[in-house]
Amino acid sequence: MKAAVYRRPGPADEVLEVVKLERPEPGPGEVRVRMVTSGINPTDWKTRAGLTGRMPDGFQVPHHDGAGVVDAVGSGVTGLTAGQRVWLYLAAFGNRYGTAAEYAIVPAARVVPLPGHASDDLGACLGVPALTAAHCLGGDPDAVKGRTVLVAGGAGAVGHYAIELAKHAGARVVATVSSDDKRTLAERAGADLVVRYTDGDVAERIRDFAGPVDRVVEVAFGANLALDMAVLRPGGTIATYAAAGQLSLPVGEFMQANITLAFVLLYGLSAGQLSDAVRWTSAALAAGALSALPVLAYPLDRVAAAQERVAGQPVGKVVLRIAGN
């Protein structure tokens, strides 16, 4: 099979190459998927660049997310059959065969049926972003039903699905963005109010529209902490999935308001937590409540350029089109 691989961490154009590999066979509990589209997330290029400390086991086919068709199943696999359209998540986590190849071998738990009305692009856009969003929202629709949610970075991949999942669950959603183009994307996702965080009186506008916020899905915890605390109700929750560096917290304010602060990293979730996020995402997908971000497509042979595009933080979702390479 044709596959993108890297054998050591480093710059994309130095370590990524497209090679021919033996098509792997699924072992017990595994599924082989013929890939159609491979979705690329920031965690994919950061791992390849060596920023996460994970080294390849001989070689690594990158990318966690994707969509394709079940090609073969190993012993003990139930509920998945050859020819079935599916979406994948965390394919490359603890596994050398990610989705940037003509075939991927994935544990069956990370392979999810893709409804007939859902495109391959949409399937490849789910995975890490949608499951992160679902967990940040509490892991279950009832956690946000009838409540108010603030989504920071509402035009990003996690923010996009946080808006759509929360709205489908019956929440009122406020989103912050940095530009008018991103405002349009957040509005299309269903946000009830979209505010540019560069404008003045953001906290006042949010409070006037929605009152106190019950939960914040946060992309820039340090930069947005003052705004979050200004609009969050006592007993509310801030779930952040992209915090980095050193943070200084107003511990007294957190304690007085009984604020819950949750740091979310998909790799560290339990099997049960992942199952909850998959269940919620799948139900919303089946109901037609989820949509793809604007897609920026590359062929497999340009995997290095595609990863560099993701590192540049584009508006939209970068994917590899595998079929036809």
Spelled out in words, what is the top-level CATH class assigned to the domain 130-267?
A: alpha beta
Burial class (CB in 10 A: 0-12, 13-18, 19+), 162: buried
What percentage of the chain has pLDDT greater than the value 90? Answer: 90
pTM as predicted? 0.95
Domain with CATH 3.40.50.720 in the chain: 130-267
Q: Are 8 and 56 spatial neighbours (Cβ–Cβ below 8 Å)?
A: yes
Residue 245 has pLDDT above 80, yes or no: no
Q: Indicate the pLDDT class of residue 324, thresholds 50, 70 and 90.
A: low
Residue 71 has pLDDT above 70, yes or no: yes
Residue 4 has pLDDT above 80, yes or no: yes
Domain with CATH 3.90.180.10 in the chain: 2-126+290-321
As a whole number, mean pLDDT of residues 270-283 equals 97
Q: Which CATH architecture has domain 2-126+290-321?
A: Alpha-Beta Complex (3.90)
Q: What whole-number distance in Å separates Cα of residue 206 and Cα of residue 232?
A: 10
pLDDT of residue 247: 79
pLDDT higher at 268 or 324: 268
**83-119 burial string, b = 16+ CB within 10 Å, else e?**
ebbbbbbbbbbebbbbbbbbbbbbbbebbbbbeeebe
H or E element at residue 240 = strand 232-240
| Interval 288-300: pLDDT, tens | 999 999 999 999 9
Q: Which of 162, 107, 145, 108 is nearest to 281 (CA)?
A: 162
As a whole number, mean pLDDT of residues 57-77 equals 96
Residue 325 has pLDDT above 60, yes or no: no
What are 74's two structure tokens? Answer: 């190993």
Q: What whole-number distance in Å separates Cα of residue 126 and Cα of residue 290?
A: 9
How are beta strands 317-321 and 295-299 bridged, if at all?
A: parallel
Residue 173 has pLDDT above 50, yes or no: yes
Mean pLDDT over the full length of the chain: 95
pLDDT of residue 249: 85
Q: Name the percent of the chain in helix, strand, coil, to the closest 5.
A: 35, 30, 35
